[in-house]
Each structure stands twice: as structure tokens, then as C-alpha cells.
Amino acid sequence: MIDETLKSIKPVEEKWYEIAQHRLDNLTKPPGSLGRLEEFARRLVAIFEDNAPSMNKKAIFTFAGDHGVTVEGVSAYPKEVTPQMVFNFLRGGAGINVLARHAGAEVVVVDIGVDYDFNDIEGLLKMKVIKGTRNFTNGPAMTKDEAVRCIEIGIELANGYAKKGYKIFGTGEMGIGNTTPSSAIAAVLTKRPVEEVTGRGTGISDEALKRKIDVIKKAIEINMPDPDDPIDVLSKVGGAEIGGIAGLVLGAASNRIPVVIDGFISTAGALIAYCIEPKTKDYMFAAHNSVEIGHKAMLDKMGLKPILDLDLRLGEGTGAALSMLLIEAGLKIYKEMATFGEAGVSNEIQK
Ligand SMILES: O=C(O)c1ccc[n+]([C@@H]2O[C@H](COP(=O)([O-])O)[C@@H](O)[C@H]2O)c1
Ligand SMILES: Cc1cc2nc[nH]c2cc1C
């Protein structure tokens, strides 16, 4: 299934950027004066291959998973918070629910790896691959099959929501401990020292940060993830929600749907997808610059420039929801602004 998806991922065509640029330069403004809003419009026109696309249906996928490595004391919060927050998402009371409502996006909550039995609770997509990953200081977090299954779930969701007419996706996640595997992925795939890509996550002490760095170093030493094999990296030092996000990005690209990448953990998932197929980059928007150090290294590796810089570090998809509003603003400018000709405004630049 992954191979089939990869085959259908095409880069966006230069021709469409030129078509979009031509219109942008005819709108009543000095060329380039709407800055990155113009970039968003150009990219959307090229992704959709449509000069007047609409993005009325938006979905943010919040993948939840637990992490065996939390027994090492790498988070400021207990792992029970993961299922508790899932209930909060389903009741509509979490940060992502508020900001998604603000952005007019639907929140899709996916249990891909929570160490809790939700039974038949309404509103949750039950796609559990694993009841929490294994503690990766002793061996791989997941088997290769489990990692592949997580990616497939992301692809299946992208295919299903594309079919239902959704036009833009956002990524999000919830998982106590998940900045630890994300830093491990960042270190392996960007080849940076662990210290440079490991931060405080939910807000750990200096002492816990030292422990977290040692834990990640040990995990990389013991598991020896192959930096040239992103699925090997995902299975050995990753997490279920990170795999789901990687799959969603691959599926978005194969369906020609723009995907807004949230913060640090989402970017680790996006980086796995990028290393599997670099063409996915054409479909990605980096929502924001997370407080988490190490985020920039991953964005730089993919050549993505974050849209917002609001000192966010919540995850869930909150940054993705906010930046969707700006991406949409760029499209509205493109579709609704008058041209020089229509408005009778002179387009002659004085010498
Ligand atoms: O999105 C981010 O950049 C981000 C940065 C730090 C923490 N988080 C969230 O906090 C949790 C992980 O933090 P931790 O300290 O438990 O590894 C997880 O539920 C994430 O959604 C998210
Ligand atoms: C309360 C809480 C909410 C979260 N949302 C994403 N990560 C989180 C971590 C905590 C601790």
C-alpha cells in the first residue's frame, strides 16, 4: 500500500506557479507586497491545478499514542494524561477544539497507540496499532510491521477524507512523552547531536532534561536506527502517532491535498514522510516555529519556513489550525482582489 501511494505522488508543476504569479502581479498592489500570502496562493493554485480552488472542508487529524519510554522520567506529566486528553478532545474542550472551531476545521481524533481501552466511545476513530510503544532504551519501540501499519492508517485516513471532499488537512498529536522519540528522530535524520535537538517538552526540570538526553543517546546506541531507512528509524525510536502523521502526509501528497504540519512532533512525522519521498514537501505548509529546540533543524532539512512564531508548544494541531486561517487568507486575496484593469488603477511604475 505504501509503495502504491508513493508511485502516485507527483511534484507540483512550475507552469502553475507561473499562472498564479501572473494573476498576483495583476492585482491592485505593488508586486510581492502581500509577502507570504502570495506564496500560499501560488502554492495552492499549483497543488490543486486550479485557478480558483476552494478550501471549504478542512480537517485536523489529532493522533494519540503512548510511549513506553515515559518510565524513564522524560516528561513533566504522567502518561494517564494521554487518554484523559482524548476524552477532552471528544467533549470539545481542548485547545485544538477551540482553535479548530475558530478556523472552521473539523477535528478528527484517532487512537493509534494509546495505552487505554476506550471501548465504544462515540466520536473516536479506533485504529489502535499498539497499546503504547515499548521503552526504546531496551530495544525497538515498535516492530517494523507495527510502524508500517501506523503509516498505512495515515494513508487510509487521507484517502478517505479526500474522497469525502476535504480540501486541506492539518496534523496534530497527543502523547505524553512524545517529544523524546521526536528528538531521537530529529537527531538521526538531521545528523545533529542529541543535545541540539532535545528540549523541555511539557516543561521538565534541568535534571530531567539531562536524563532525557541520556535516554535518547542510549536508545540510538542500542537500536542503531539506519538514517537511510526512515521506516527503520520510525519503528526503532519513533511512535505510533508519529507514524500516523507520516502516513497522512504521504496520503495528502498522493491525493494532491495541502497538509499543514503542526509543531515539533508533527514535524518529526513529516520528516519521516519527506525522507521516504521528498516530493511530499510540495504539499506541506509548516504551521509555526515551536518553542521546542530541534524543530528548526527538521524544518531546515526539508527547506520549510514556518508561517507563525507564537511561542506555541502545545501540539494537538493548534498551530496548524491557526495557520490554516492565513493560508486561506492568501487564497481569498488571490480569488477576490480586483485587478488593476478591473479597478481602473494605474499600474505604471515611475522611473
Ligand atoms: O507541538 C509541539 O511543538 C509540542 C512541543 C512540546 C510538547 N508538546 C505536547 O506535549 C506532549 C509531549 O511532551 P512531553 O514533555 O511529554 O514529551 C505531547 O502531548 C505534545 O502534544 C507539543
Ligand atoms: C494537559 C496537557 C495537554 C496537552 N495537549 C498536548 N499535550 C499536552 C500535555 C498536557 C500535560
Which candidate in 146, 292, 316, 328 is catalytic?
A: 316
Q: Per the domain annotation, does 184 fall within a domain? A: yes
The whole-number pLDDT of residue 283 equals 99
| Pair (11, 64) in one structural domain | no
Cell of 208: 530531567
Among 298, 320, 317, 272, residue whose Cα is nearest residue 2: 272
Q: 267-277 burial, b for 16+ CB within 10 Å, e for fewer?
A: bbbbbbbbbbb
Task: Give the distance (Å) from ligand 1 centre to CA of residue 318.
Answer: 12
Q: What is the pTM of this model?
A: 0.99
* CA distance linking residue 172 with residue 325, whole number of Å: 16
| Pair (142, 264) in one structural domain | yes
The whole-number pLDDT of residue 42 equals 98
Q: Per the domain annotation, does 348 fall within a domain? A: no
Start-to-end CA span in the chain (Å): 58
Question: Is residue 184 very low, low, confident or very high in pLDDT (cuts 50, 70, 90)?
Answer: very high
Cell of 101: 472551531
Cell of 177: 512523552
Number of domains in the chain: 2
Instruction: Round the average pLDDT of the chain to a whole number and report it.
Output: 98
The whole-number pLDDT of residue 19 equals 98
Helix (H, G, I), strand (E, B) or coil at 143: coil
Question: Is residue 230 very low, low, confident or very high in pLDDT (cuts 50, 70, 90)?
Answer: very high
294 lines ligand 1 (CB under 6 A): no
| Pair (38, 137) in one structural domain | no
Q: On the CB side of 307, how many CA atoms lie within 13 Å of its CA?
A: 25
| Pair (26, 108) in one structural domain | no
256 lines ligand 1 (CB under 6 A): no
pLDDT digits (tens, 9 = 90+) for 91-111: 999 999 999 999 999 999 999
- For residues 164-184, give the mean pLDDT: 99
Ligand index nearest the alpha carbon of residue 174? 1
| Pair (288, 203) in one structural domain | yes
Task: Give the distance (Å) from ligand 1 centre to CA of residue 198.
Answer: 12
Q: Per the domain annotation, does 281 fall within a domain? A: yes
Give the ligand 2 atom nearest the CA of 85: 3
The whole-number pLDDT of residue 119 equals 96
Cell of 314: 502545545
Q: Per the domain annotation, does 94 fall within a domain? A: yes
Q: Per the domain annotation, does 351 fall within a domain? A: no
Non-local (6+) Cβ contacts of 62 within 8 A are: 89, 96, 107, 108, 109, 110, 172, 173, 174, 316, 317
| Pair (41, 99) in one structural domain | no
173: CATH = 3.40.50.10210
Q: Per the domain annotation, does 349 fall within a domain? A: no
182 lines ligand 1 (CB under 6 A): no
Task: Give the distance (Å) from ligand 2 centre to CA of residue 332.
Answer: 33
Range of the domain at 23: 1-53+334-342
The whole-number pLDDT of residue 186 equals 99
Among 317, 136, 348, residue whose Cα is nearest residue 234: 136
DSSP strand pairing (168-174 vs 284-286): unpaired
- For residues 225-244, give the mean pLDDT: 99
| Pair (143, 24) in one structural domain | no
Can you give the three-state secondary structure of 283-330, one letter per residue?
HEEECECCCCCCHHHHHHHHCCCCCECCCCCCCCCHHHHHHHHHHHHH
Q: Per the domain annotation, does 347 fall within a domain? A: no
| Pair (165, 141) in one structural domain | yes
DSSP 349: P
- For residues 154-181, give the mean pLDDT: 98
Question: Is residue 310 very low, low, confident or very high in pLDDT (cuts 50, 70, 90)?
Answer: very high
The whole-number pLDDT of residue 46 equals 98
pLDDT digits (tens, 9 = 90+) for 18-55: 999 999 999 999 999 999 999 999 999 999 999 999 99
180 lines ligand 1 (CB under 6 A): yes
Task: Give the distance (Å) from ligand 2 centre to CA of residue 317.
Answer: 12
Q: Per the domain annotation, does 193 fall within a domain? A: yes
| Pair (182, 136) in one structural domain | yes
- For residues 177-193, give the mean pLDDT: 99
| Pair (24, 169) in one structural domain | no
316 is catalytic: yes
Residue 315, Ramachandran bin (φ over 0: left; ψ between -120 and 50: alpha; else beta): left
36: CATH = 1.10.1610.10
Ligand 2: residues with CB < 6 A are 77, 81, 85, 174, 202, 314-316
The whole-number pLDDT of residue 120 equals 93
Task: Give the distance (Å) from ligand 2 centre to CA of residue 263.
Answer: 13
| Pair (47, 182) in one structural domain | no
Give the ligand 1 atom nearest the CA of 173: 21
| Pair (37, 88) in one structural domain | no
Helix (H) or strand (E) holding 127: none
* CA distance linking residue 238 with residue 230, whole number of Å: 10
| Residue 346 CB coordination number (10 Å) | 7
